[in-house]
Structure 1
Amino acid sequence: MEFDAVLIAPRRQQSVARGWWRDRTINDFLDRGVASHPDKPALTAVHTDSADVRRFTYRELAGMADRVAVGLVKLGVGAGDVVACQLPNGWQFVVTYLACSRIGAVMNPLMHIFRQRELSFMLRHGEARVFIVPQRFRGFDYPAMAEGLRADLPNLERVIAVGGPGPGSFEALLAEPRWEAEAGARDILGRSRPGPDDVTQLIYTSGTTGEPKGVMHTANTTFSNIAAYADRLGLGADDVVLMGSPMAHQTGFMYGLMMPLYLGCEAVTLDVWNPAAAAGLIREHGATFSMASTPFLTDLAREVAQSGQGVPTLRTFLCAGAPIPGPLVEQARQVLGAKIISAWGMTENGAVTLTRPQDDDVRAYTSDGCPLPGVEIKVVDASGAAQPAGVVGNLWLRSCSNFGGYLKRPQLNATDAEGWFDTGDMARIDEQGYLRITGRSKDVIIRGGENIPVVEIESLLYRHPAIGQAAIVAYPDERLGERACAVVTLKPGCALELPGLVDFLKGHGVALQYIPERLEVRDSLPSTPTGKVQKFRLREMLRDGG
């Protein structure tokens, strides 16, 4: 595969000169860990389906990565080849990425909830040669689905099942034979390690607006972000990272897989989110940090409150993906005792803005943080002119962690000659430089020429005692162009009608023209694997009367 990561070379000189790109790869950090603390715990992977717990020291993790790497080479995988991996969080996921990095292959992580429609596009577009899946996860037969796709995937040579039967399984082909001890294994492993600007990850956007795009990342783009992120949060080798967010998304991949190896600390992974299990793992391993979307924080705070068993080692919980309701920050701060950090980022960049640990708690629910080192942000109008503080406009950013481009679609890279990337988000920046995302540019509601502050109204809806989830989307209107519809889920035993919703928002001082004029109650809201509501699907439902 030839990767057209055209956004890397133009900014290399400046990025290296400013110390953002340090030309270190995941191999360097894993090898450093083996050299300095070989017997330190590196990974504890909890598999809930089988009640299996697998532990690796740094020495053991590197040894298994070498074993699987040689096994992949024996299957014909080489530098630049794409290995797609549709696994839940677990040691096999981690080892597959490390093995790919040993031989210069590119890993394409895929969410375990994807099915034929998404996979047929991604596997074909990414030209995956190997596809690694679980034999069965949460009752679903992945090999059968994968085999059903092969006829339309000319590049796909092999489907490998973790826990599968026979000689074609992950265990038989890769994880059990001592390939690393064979004559010539060292030569294989030293032959094609990737450089810091080689593409090492191909990851598809989560699809909040339609067809996904293949995002290309290198060691320099990812670690320039991870280093700044860890420094902002004060994380180090003595921390323990709990990761329940999927590693097939950047949250889990960058901050649950890559960051612990960068820090030289231990990672604890959970394949199926379970708040009681998560709380127990925090206590057992002394976890100090976790990152996930808002529902995970809600669940964990509720579990700790109801069980009466605290999580005293948990120092920081970072929430990203959607605004955090103020009451949740207050409750979680009190119940968990952890600092709640708000953040915003993209698949294309990783985390872009974070609140600071020393910030007042109110920042976590009134902003999405301020830029990390190596990141610049600005809000512009339709002509590209910068807007003053407090004015909503299009959000552009320029970042050391900006991706290498969209695979086979450089015309969509949305990055100008000066390195500014159009995020597609609407936002405002306050006088202190703190960002607040106000919605996607495609999600803006213009009612009679007036822009509705969608995110602010949604945040208020989360304060309503009957509402579980909320999203506001536009529906067409002949006179005003658009009107706003609130689509919500309700908490058990609760009811809500539009007049009650209107009275609630009026009670919070919301201007009449900003109040939704329609209410739809649903059992659930369509969302991406990371919990972002897919508003384009809600608009389709309203349009089609579904």
Structure 2
Amino acid sequence: MMENLFHHSGFLESIKQHVRKFPTKTAVVDISNPQSITMSYQELQETAETIAANLLAKGLQKGEAVAYQLPSGWQFIVITMGIWYAGGVPCPLLPSLREREVRFILDRSQARIYIYPDTYRNFDYSQLAHSLEDKFADLQFFCIPQSEQIPALSSLAGLADPLDHEYHLQPHAPTLDSIAQLLFTSGTTGEPKGALHTFSTLSYALFRHTQTLRLSYQDVIWVPSPLAHQTGFLYGMMLSLFLGATGVYHAAWHVEKAKQAIEKEGATFVQAAMPFLSDITHMSEPPQGLRIFVATGAAIPRQLADLAKQKLACKIVGAWGSTETCLVTVGHPDDPVEKLWGTDGRVMEGMSIRVVDENGQVLPPGTEGNFQVKTPAMFIGYLHRPDLYEAALTKDGYFDTGDLAIVDEDGFIKISGRKKDIINRGGEKIPVAEIENLLYTHPSIADAALVAMPDLRLGERACLFVVGKEDSQPLKLEDITGFLQQQGVAKIYWPERLEWIAEMPRTASGKIQKYLLRQRLQEKSLDA
């Protein structure tokens, strides 16, 4: 079966097989707007091929990145497929990113095409695009009106227009070793890193995932996670297309859309961050029909898992993965609940995990240590940063996740902490070092430390501790967020609480002792 899946380009070949086998089957249901939009596998294929031809006509070269900042939905999907068919590399950007992050990614990716919406969630992307024109003289801009939501009427900024002459796509077709994805992480080391995956690595990830969870073309995949995030991109969009299943998408999160996806559109499977699980579980009338919910981003609290199982009447399993490694551990639907809840599952077949000490020695079960993984689904490098790639891998090829973990005697993994200084806000990792460095440029701030504070819904939120400069006026939270907005920082990275302190706790070597700041937050919450 592995050979059948992996001949030619694996994932893309599977789509073509689905088009031949059931061309009229619904591939995409976009419920973003009051009137749902559907596309069959044949319509998806034909539109994607037209987009590919137009991209080639615009000068796209084989292996070249295309940057696009679109909401989740049918437009995102056909453009991604069009980029693949033209031999390009999809480089999706979260719609929540602003000028600072977009500039960095365009510069690092060297993309010469940038596709964006006119407006989305009250933000004018045309102004953002205009601000980029001075730095990127060779960049081609394509603005897709969000009012053109029906595929038959939308030209996708001309990218879906028929061409006067035929373009033969076969010479541009990617192979198994071609780059299939360029995703930028949120910058845990001070700058975003562009992780590169091939069709081989992503196809392997999908194969193991579908086998482990026993997914098939009969499932309906609900995709509430942003498609520009690995969870939505790989374990939503690509998973659905790989299976030949129907995918249900919506651009913005809302519990009523969730209910519609599950009860009206028949969704049976979803993989998403824990806040999504919490929100639908706590609805007055939780939706019924899901078969499996894979919760990522943090181990599922026992209380939430028990309530979700009762309210949703489906299997709730935890999982661990990353942009670089894809999913490595996951709970099996038939695992005992005492193992499923409070852990991130077990390693999938064909992959390897270990917990080691600072010297790289494997630790016995039940001992906390550095969490490392090795898998054929692993990324092949960071774009233009071979130094970071080399630093992330051990001599024997394991990826050091930066997490601390414990593996029990039955092989279940529990992430216990992080070596990397990051804040995981509902599955989105906040680039702490980058935000702190910006805050140090504020005229009223002498010292700043961004730390995680526990949150029942999102897992963590960001709290900013500040030491003010002498004779400066105390700042309010809105002053801080306004400053970050002026710097072009995305709202999802802004602190949501501000604490003024006289002095930062530091080690003898001068490092801020953030655990003391987190302890201070915990004590305040207990006193409240």
User: Using a 3 Å threshold, how does the CA distance of structure 1 residues 470 and 136 change in structure 2: closer, same or farther?
Assistant: closer
The 5-angstrom pairing of residues 23-38 of structure 1 reads: 23-38=8-23
Question: After superposition, what is the alpha-carbon deviation per residue over 1:410-451, rounded to whole angstroms, capped at 9, x for unaligned?
Answer: 11112234321111111111111111111221349xxxxxxx
Equivalent position to 2:162, from 155, 174, 178: 178
Equivalent position to 1:271, from 251, 258, 262: 251
User: Using a 3 Å threshold, how does the CA distance of structure 1 residues 478 and 228 change in structure 2: closer, same or farther?
Assistant: closer
Following superposition, the deviation at residue 103 of structure 1 comes to 1.2
Equivalent position to 2:369, from 393, 406, 417: 393
1:218 maps onto 2:218 in alignment: no
User: Using a 3 Å threshold, how does the CA distance of structure 1 residues 115 and 289 change in structure 2: closer, same or farther?
Assistant: same
Contact 2:231–2:271 (Cα < 8 Å) also in 1? yes
> Aligned pair count?
451
Following superposition, the deviation at residue 391 of structure 1 comes to 1.1
Contact 2:208–2:348 (Cα < 8 Å) also in 1? yes
Give me the whole-angstrom Cα distance separating, in 2, the residues matched to 1:61 and 1:201.
19
Aligned residue for 1:442, secondary structure, equals: coil
Please tell me the residue identity of whatever aligns with 2:516: A
The 5-angstrom pairing of residues 431-450 of structure 1 reads: 431-443=409-421
1:106 maps onto 2:89 in alignment: yes
Please tell me the residue identity of whatever aligns with 1:476: P
The 5-angstrom pairing of residues 228-377 of structure 1 reads: 228-303=208-283, 306-307=284-285, 310-311=287-288, 313-377=289-353
Question: After superposition, what is the alpha-carbon deviation per residue over 1:461-493, rounded to whole angstroms, capped at 9, x for unaligned?
Answer: 778xxx98557999735699664344899xxxx
Give me the whole-angstrom Cα distance separating, in 1, the residues matched to 2:314 and 2:321.
22
Which shows bigger deviation, 419-428 or 236-245?
419-428
Following superposition, the deviation at residue 195 of structure 1 comes to 0.7
Counterpart for residue 523 of structure 2: 498
User: Using a 3 Å threshold, how does the CA distance of structure 1 residues 157 and 164 change in structure 2: closer, same or farther?
Assistant: farther
Contact 2:453–2:460 (Cα < 8 Å) also in 1? no
Counterpart for residue 36 of structure 2: 53
Following superposition, the deviation at residue 320 of structure 1 comes to 0.4
The 5-angstrom pairing of residues 448-463 of structure 1 reads: none
What runs of 5+ residues in structure 2 fail to find an aligned partner? Answer: 149-153, 423-450, 466-503
What runs of 5+ residues in structure 1 fail to find an aligned partner? Answer: 1-15, 445-457, 490-496, 502-518, 522-546
Following superposition, the deviation at residue 322 of structure 1 comes to 1.8
User: Using a 3 Å threshold, how does the CA distance of structure 1 residues 462 and 79 change in structure 2: closer, same or farther?
Assistant: closer
Give me the whole-angstrom Cα distance separating, in 1, the residues matched to 2:121 and 2:332.
38
User: Using a 3 Å threshold, how does the CA distance of structure 1 residues 468 and 434 change in structure 2: closer, same or farther?
Assistant: closer
Question: After superposition, what is the alpha-carbon deviation per residue over 1:115-164, rounded to whole angstroms, capped at 9, x for unaligned?
Answer: 01111111100011111111110111112102211222245233433448
Counterpart for residue 476 of structure 1: 505
Give me the whole-angstrom Cα distance separating, in 2, the residues matched to 1:194 and 1:499.
55
Counterpart for residue 178 of structure 2: 198
1:118 maps onto 2:98 in alignment: no
Give me the whole-angstrom Cα distance separating, in 2, the residues matched to 1:440 and 1:26.
33
Please tell me the residue identity of whatever aligns with 1:184: E
User: Using a 3 Å threshold, how does the CA distance of structure 1 residues 410 and 164 change in structure 2: closer, same or farther?
Assistant: farther
Which shows bigger deviation, 421-430 or 55-64?
421-430
User: Using a 3 Å threshold, how does the CA distance of structure 1 residues 212 and 172 change in structure 2: closer, same or farther?
Assistant: closer
Contact 1:23–1:220 (Cα < 8 Å) also in 2? no
User: Using a 3 Å threshold, how does the CA distance of structure 1 residues 119 and 207 change in structure 2: closer, same or farther?
Assistant: same
Give me the whole-angstrom Cα distance separating, in 1, the residues matched to 2:396 and 2:334.
33
Question: After superposition, what is the alpha-carbon deviation per residue over 1:13-53, rounded to whole angstroms, capped at 9, x for unaligned?
Answer: xxx999996553432122111110111111111223xx342
User: Using a 3 Å threshold, how does the CA distance of structure 1 residues 420 and 60 change in structure 2: closer, same or farther?
Assistant: same
Following superposition, the deviation at residue 208 of structure 1 comes to 4.3
Equivalent position to 2:25, from 40, 61, 70: 40
Counterpart for residue 446 of structure 2: none
Give me the whole-angstrom Cα distance separating, in 2, the residues matched to 1:472 and 1:426.
20
Please tell me the residue identity of whatever aligns with 1:122: I
User: Using a 3 Å threshold, how does the CA distance of structure 1 residues 481 and 55 change in structure 2: closer, same or farther?
Assistant: closer
Give me the whole-angstrom Cα distance separating, in 2, the residues matched to 1:484 and 1:22.
54
Contact 2:31–2:257 (Cα < 8 Å) also in 1? no
Following superposition, the deviation at residue 260 of structure 1 comes to 1.0
Aligned residue for 1:422, secondary structure, equals: strand
Aligned residue for 1:171, secondary structure, equals: coil
Contact 1:21–1:221 (Cα < 8 Å) also in 2? no
Aligned residue for 1:351, secondary structure, equals: strand
Give me the whole-angstrom Cα distance separating, in 2, the residues matched to 1:459 and 1:214.
25
Give me the whole-angstrom Cα distance separating, in 2, the residues matched to 1:121 and 1:459.
25
Equivalent position to 1:420, from 398, 405, 408: 398
Equivalent position to 1:381, from 353, 357, 361: 357
**Identical amino acids, percent of aligned pairs:** 34
Counterpart for residue 408 of structure 2: 430
Following superposition, the deviation at residue 93 of structure 1 comes to 0.5
TM-score between both structures, scaled by the size of structure 2: 0.79
Question: After superposition, what is the alpha-carbon deviation per residue over 1:387-426, rounded to whole angstroms, capped at 9, x for unaligned?
Answer: 1111111111111100010000011112234321111111
User: Using a 3 Å threshold, how does the CA distance of structure 1 residues 392 and 95 change in structure 2: closer, same or farther?
Assistant: same
Aligned residue for 2:96, secondary structure, equals: coil
Give me the whole-angstrom Cα distance separating, in 2, the residues matched to 1:346 and 1:302.
28
Aligned residue for 2:381, secondary structure, equals: coil
The 5-angstrom pairing of residues 393-412 of structure 1 reads: 393-412=369-388
The 5-angstrom pairing of residues 497-536 of structure 1 reads: 498=523, 501=526
Aligned residue for 2:94, secondary structure, equals: coil
Contact 2:70–2:115 (Cα < 8 Å) also in 1? yes
Counterpart for residue 117 of structure 2: 134
Give me the whole-angstrom Cα distance separating, in 1, the residues matched to 2:458 and 2:229.
24
Equivalent position to 1:82, from 54, 62, 65: 65
Contact 1:87–1:93 (Cα < 8 Å) also in 2? yes
Contact 1:471–1:487 (Cα < 8 Å) also in 2? no
Contact 1:202–1:217 (Cα < 8 Å) also in 2? yes
Give me the whole-angstrom Cα distance separating, in 1, the residues matched to 2:517 and 2:413.
26
